[in-house]
Amino acid sequence: MQYININGKITPATEAALPVDNGAFRYGYGLFETMRVYRGAIQLADHHWARLFAGMHQLYFEVPVLMTPKWLTEQVLRTVGRNKAEGLCRVRMQVYAGGGGLYSNESRKPYFVIECFSLEEDNMILNENGLTIGIATGISKSPDTLANLKSCNALMYAMAAKQAKAQQWNDALICNTNGHIIESTIANLFWVKDGIIYTPPLADGCIAGVMRRHIMTLTTVTEKCCTDDELQQADEVFLTNAIKRIRWVAAIGDKRYTNTTSTTLFSRL
């Protein structure tokens, strides 16, 4: 990454700076979208912008009239072009609150940063080796009205990722305060039993994932609360996000899984 877009101004990454009193730094007050750009186009762009604008509305941001999906798309592609990464890259767009206290007028203004990172070609294929994952302990997520947002407050996910690394897992699953398994540190969760595809309901507190939404338009998916027993009885488990799209899971503990459904779905993306 050579250049970053800060509020519409593209600047060398080595010179980029933000005010230290911004809301994301002080309070985790903000949202982000992680988007995949392929051949000069944002994949699933409509889903990304719908989620972002709904989230800004929910967080009481006063969105400027000119800050439209079309204008933000132009900003993303300008940044990608400046980094010469139009072929295939990952874009992280973070919207953050302005400075001052939580009750200041400035805190309702949305500012943004757009970063661009190259992706390897192996991101275009389904993972050959299935993931090994586990369930994070001592961490639980409240299924409240903010739970579905892709917010800047990610400490829980960071700590679960630390557990995964310590256990030599590829990822860690996270439970809600009711003890239901809802997602991983960076992806939504799906499992398959007797040919039926399941995923946790948004009411259980998982992120409202863009790829999750897309897959649910491609095939029939049943929303169901997930427990460790459900996963132990499953035939397949796979994770989804906008960058990797689908990654199949080979093992959770001693349980082993196949990848027939994930392979079929991946071919349809």
| Residue-wise pLDDT tens digits, 192-215 | 999 999 999 999 999 999 999 999
pLDDT value of position 99: 84
At 122, the pLDDT band (50, 70, 90 cuts) reads confident
Domain spans of the chain, in order of start = 3-124, 131-268
In one-letter notation, the amino acid at residue 140 is S
d(CA 243, CA 36): 6
| Residue-wise pLDDT tens digits, 14-70 | 999 998 999 999 999 999 999 999 999 999 999 999 999 999 999 999 999 999 999
| Residue-wise pLDDT tens digits, 126-136 | 999 999 999 99
What secondary structure does DSSP assign to 107-118, as a single string? GGSEEEEEEEEE
Question: Of all residues in the chain, what percent carry a pLDDT higher than 70?
Answer: 100
Question: Of all residues in the chain, what percent carry a pLDDT higher than 90?
Answer: 93
The fold for domain 3-124 equals D-amino Acid Aminotransferase; Chain A, domain 1 (3.30.470)
DSSP classification of residue 56: H
Average pLDDT, the chain: 96
pLDDT for residue 106 is more than 80: no
d(CA 124, CA 40): 15
- How many whole angstroms from its chain centre is CA 20? 25
Assigned token pair, 223 = 């929303």
Contacts of 7 (CB under 8 A, 6+ apart): 111, 112, 113
pLDDT for residue 189 is more than 80: yes
pLDDT value of position 12: 96
d(CA 172, CA 140): 12
| Residue-wise pLDDT tens digits, 211-263 | 999 999 999 999 999 999 999 999 999 999 999 999 999 999 999 999 999 99
**Apex 194 CA angle, 191 and 198, nearest 5:** 30
The CATH number assigned to the domain with range 131-268 reads 3.20.10.10
